[in-house]
Amino acid sequence: MNRKKATIVTYGCQMNVNETAKMKKLLEENGYDIIDDIHNSDAVFLNTCTVRGGAAGKIEGKLGNLKTIKNSRNGNLIIGVTGCVAQEEKEHLLKRAPYIDIVLGNQNISQLPEIMEKILDGEIEHAVLTNNEDELPPRIDANFGDGITASVAINYGCNNFCTYCIVPYVRGRERSVPLEDIVADVRQYIKKGYKDILLLGQNVNSYGQDFTESSEIKFSKLLDEICKIDGDYWIRYVSPHPKDLTTDVLEIMAKYPEKIASNMHLPVQSGSTEILKKMNRKYTKENYLKLVDNIKDILPNISLTTDIIVGFPGETEENFLDTLDVVRKVQYENAYMFKYSIREGTPAATMEGQIPEDVKQERLLRLMEVQNESAKNISLSYVGKTVKVLVEGPSRRNEEKMTGRISENKVVIFKGDHSLKGTFVKVKIVTAKTWTLYGELV
Ligand code: SAH
Ligand code: SF4
Ligand code: F3S
């Protein structure tokens, strides 16, 4: 039988990347080859994100294209919307775009094959499945494409309700995956040759808090159990919440320097205690800086990265200067910097003191300038050092060069053979730019 073709367009965070990989596997098992071309596909899925305003607008254009393609083929195209916009808008999406066939929420991915079959058989016209928001999704396999990085969701949902954030409303309450399932998945991926294992959750270090009271399983225990697996790999995790980052996690990281990557993404969001309070982050500027000191004491070589929002409602120039101060003090290797964006349905959306766009923009640029300075200084500090690199493949700009990442998550470019893809090599760093290190194979 002829195999069909499907494209999945992925927006948003690593959780969506993980869920796309699961959808790919399901589609492959059900007669589809995965391609990257909406014009030659029999089915196209948009795996969406709604964390910042304007998400609807972003997919609107893409949906318009798909509608045109579908019309030109007398309706012979399955259009699906999955991910957080699907979870948020549910059947309302069909009102806006009745040509969508499938609206599938984050917990319903495993039902994809049966739904497609029903639609192809003409049994149903549309399907909207967005239930089970607070349950653990069934455990299903995934296809991560490159064979190097595999991600494993360790907990789903979020209970923190930061006042700017829509995620708790679209991903439901916190629920942890059983430890033995995670360990089995990691073992399976390592056995298949994956080298970079990414543990995922909206708040990874609250892992296990929903288990029974007598349970002693927590995030550090999970890391410890995973690191007992033999093999040549490293694990990373995103994201820990500063309020829940306990010393036992740092100690486990120190115990396994070869197996746990020397990088931590520790979202600060703001450096101002006053704004942090309005954000409901549950730590102060001083707590956060103290935490960073503790991290650097136990893990002196760790690279820190972060997320920052500028222009949160009520943010004064003085509040913003506190953010700049934290950025200067911590010296992040990298930061994802955002202008506050109104998310309808969250408390911050209706707070007083919304900041004008030009002020947000100006603060963002000033913040980037300060952050880029530390990124550059940190990059330059690698010159002359020899580092362990996980080779990802040929560089996009120059086929003769290979690109890879170090444990601190920095990109390294070096001259090497394509056969090195997916292996660990040693590279001596010769020069550095803000985002990239350049070196020679040792
Ligand atoms: N659970 C993760 C991140 C979730 S969203 C965590 O807590 O780290 C990823 C990032 O998007 C957040 O860290 C925040 O910096 C940003 N973000 C979320 N809501 C936003 C909003 N309304 N406006 C601007 N940025 C936002
Ligand atoms: Fe959103 Fe805060 Fe939960 Fe992260 S911790 S997902 S920012 S509510
Ligand atoms: Fe976006 Fe949903 Fe992730 S809103 S950031 S895709 S959890």
Domain coordinates of the chain in residue numbers? 4-129, 149-380, 386-441
Q: Which two tokens stand for residue 373?
A: 């300075």
Q: What is the atom index within ligand 1 of the atom nearest the CA of 166? A: 19
Confidence class of residue 138 from pLDDT cuts 50, 70 and 90? Answer: confident
Cα(356) to centroid of ligand 1, in Å? 20
CA distance 79 to 116: 10
Q: Please tell me the distance from the alpha carbon of residue 7 to that of residue 46, in angstroms, as a whole number.
A: 9
Parallel, antiparallel or unpaired: strands 436-441 and 411-415: parallel
pLDDT for residue 306 is more than 70: yes
Beta partners for residue 47, in sequence order = 10, 82
Report how far residue 342's alpha carbon sits from residue 330's, in angstroms, rounded to the nearest whole number: 28
pLDDT in tens, 264-277: 999 999 999 999 99
User: What does the pLDDT average to over 414-439?
Assistant: 96
Is the confidence at residue 1, as pLDDT, over 70?
no
386-441 domain in CATH 1.10.132.10? no
Q: Is the pTM of this model over 0.85?
A: yes
Q: How far is the CA of 203 from the centre of ligand 1 (A)?
A: 12
Q: Could you tell which of 160, 166, 306 is best to mutate to test the pocket of ligand 2, judged by most ligand atoms within 8 Å of the CB? A: 160
What's the CATH number of domain 4-129, 3.40.50.1000, 2.60.40.10, 3.40.50.2300, 3.50.50.60? 3.40.50.2300
Residue with CA closest to ligand 3 atom 3: 13
Residue keyed to tokens 């929903």: 210
How many angstroms separate the alpha carbon of residue 30 from the centre of ligand 3? 27
How many CA within 13 A on the CB side of residue 383?
Answer: 11
CA–CA dist 101, 98 (Å, integer): 8
Out of 3.40.50.1860, 3.80.30.20, 3.40.50.2300, 3.40.50.300, which CATH number does the structure's domain 149-380 have? 3.80.30.20
Q: What is the whole-number distance in angstroms between the Cα of residue 83 and the centre of ligand 3?
A: 8
Which of 47-56, 84-93, 308-317 has the highest mean predicted lDDT (pLDDT)? 308-317
Question: Which residue type occupies 319?
Answer: N
* Residue, of 228 and 1, whose pLDDT is higher: 228
Residues with Cβ within 8 Å of residue 324, at least 6 apart in sequence:
271, 366, 367, 370
pLDDT above 80 (res 435): yes
